[in-house]
Amino acid sequence: MPDPAGNDGALNSTDFAELHQLLVGPDVDRIATIEDRLDDPRKRAAEVARVLPDSIRNAKPKALREALEPVFEKAFESSVRKHPKELADAIFPVIGPAIRKSIAASIAEFAETLNQIVEKSVSLRGLQWRIEALVTGKSFSEILLTRSLLYSVEQVFLIHRKSGLLLQHVAAQGSVLKDADMISGMLTAIQDFFSDSFTEGGQDLETVDTGRFKLWIQYGPKALVVGAVSGTAPPELKGVFRTAIDKVHEQLYAELDQFKQDDTSIFEPAQPLLQACLLGQSAPGRKQSSWPVWAAACMAVLLIAGIFGYRVRQQNRWNDYFDSLRRQPGLVITGVEKRGSDWIVNGLKDPLAPQPKHEGVRFEFQPYLSLNSLFAKQREIDTAREQLEELRVRFDAGSSKLPVGEARRIDEATVAIRRLLRLKPDALILVTGRADEVGKQDTNNKLSLDRAQRVLEALLLQEIPAARMTAVAEGQKPGASDWERGTNRSVSFTTKQ
């Protein structure tokens, strides 16, 4: 159909824009709306807030916990570090009363237990119980618990704390119970009545006196143990109940936390823990002979005394030995310790001090120079001896005449000998002469003695005592070179100990 405008059916720009708007206009508007929503943080936050609760409810608990735990722990740790005072003020109304209650109960129980132990420890019966505890290996508190008073724990109940339902029940032999569930429900009702009517929030009923029986109650986070006690029980019994409820929570915490008032058979592992609470002490019957116990006790005491005495004697011997080491000159003991079966002694040791030896002792010494006069004098003697023995008076070949150039060696030898005799007056100096192998052996032997005599005479002129010196002939000595042969034509000095 021809265009009225005369365009022969061709689309102009206006027509194309209208056609484009008809075809893609709605999609463009939706894309613009999406971009506007994505670019606006407030709108995105509102959308996440709408779906987040359902996402959390539908998420798997384990996966959600693993995802949130690190974030929560870091946030909580940061909050505690930044605002410790505000956090303490917030939890004070809950923690304060709990701490005061726990401390007050512990002090009261300690005082009561201490009074009982003191009263029974100073008596003859208390001494007998201590010996019995020593012989049997039991603690004195356990013996005291089973011997001191006449009582009986006839029944023990394990009750779910939140629902008040009876989870497990044990009874002593011969005990009669009509309805354990009814007793559990009544106890829960009495506890609620007591808490609502007579105490501040958070306090619990600890004992109920029913005439013949007294109910002792110990609480845990998820359950409580109730014992029906007849007679007068010692305060240590509370510790038995407390141990039982702690072990129940340790072994069955997950079952207690997830209990839905259905199957109580899952709590049967608590039976042995409750059975351990069925304690008691009846009136004594015919007195039996106690001489075997006393005989065993005496033997145990004698054995312990013998072992203790042996150890004391051994320790005293070691102490005496270590004290003698400390008094030994040239030793400084800095530490003594026991490693396994050996003793380790650490310290300082002068090189001139004798090395101590003892079986079962390992010595770890570091060298040092002692200021002890004995060692200082010995070091001076050794120095003078070394200086003297380093000297050599040389002679010309075939001659025993003292060369003029060796007069200085005579002076040095005189000084060294005087110093040595001052420190060690009984020292004997050997003046040893020798010759080279040139010539006849008999002549060289005589020449070596003549050379020693010449040096000795020179020392006598220096007023060195003759009694402290003696001339010795060593004879001829072979030499491979002129230097060695020149050295052999000499006189040297040695000290005889």
Q: Strand 223-231 vs strand 213-219: parallel, antiparallel, or unpaired?
A: antiparallel
Model confidence at 427: pLDDT above 60: yes
Identity at 361, one-letter amino acid code: V
Q: How confident is the model at residue 285 (pLDDT cuts 50, 70, 90)?
A: very low
Task: Looking at mean pLDDT, say which of 104-108, 268-272, 280-284, 455-459 comes out highest.
Answer: 455-459
Question: 244-248, 411-415, 426-430, 456-460 — which is least confidently predicted?
Answer: 244-248
149-281 domain in CATH 3.30.450.70?
yes
Model confidence at 1: pLDDT above 50: no
At 5 the pLDDT is: 47
Segment 459-489, tens digit of pLDDT: 999 999 999 999 999 888 887 787 888 888 9
At 463 the pLDDT is: 92
Q: What average pLDDT does the structure give for the chain?
A: 78
Nearest to 497 by CA among 431, 430, 434: 430
Share of the chain above pLDDT 90, in %: 15
**In the chain, what are the domain boundaries?**
22-55, 59-139, 149-281, 295-367, 375-496
Distance CA 357, CA 216 (A): 67
Average pLDDT score over residue span 280-294: 55
State the helix-helix crossing angle for 41-58 and 13-39, rounded to 10 degrees. 60
Average pLDDT score over residue span 275-280: 80
Q: How confident is the model at residue 327 (pLDDT cuts 50, 70, 90)?
A: confident
Q: How confident is the model at residue 178 (pLDDT cuts 50, 70, 90)?
A: low
Segment 299-311, tens digit of pLDDT: 878 888 888 888 8
Average pLDDT score over residue span 276-289: 59
Average pLDDT score over residue span 268-290: 69
Average pLDDT score over residue span 436-460: 91
> Candidates 3.40.50.720, 3.30.1330.60, 3.30.1490.100, 1.10.3470.10; correct CATH number of 375-496?
3.30.1330.60
Distance CA 303, CA 300 (A): 5
At 10 the pLDDT is: 54
At 452 the pLDDT is: 92
Average pLDDT score over residue span 390-403: 90
Model confidence at 9: pLDDT above 80: no
226 vs 151 pLDDT, higher one: 226
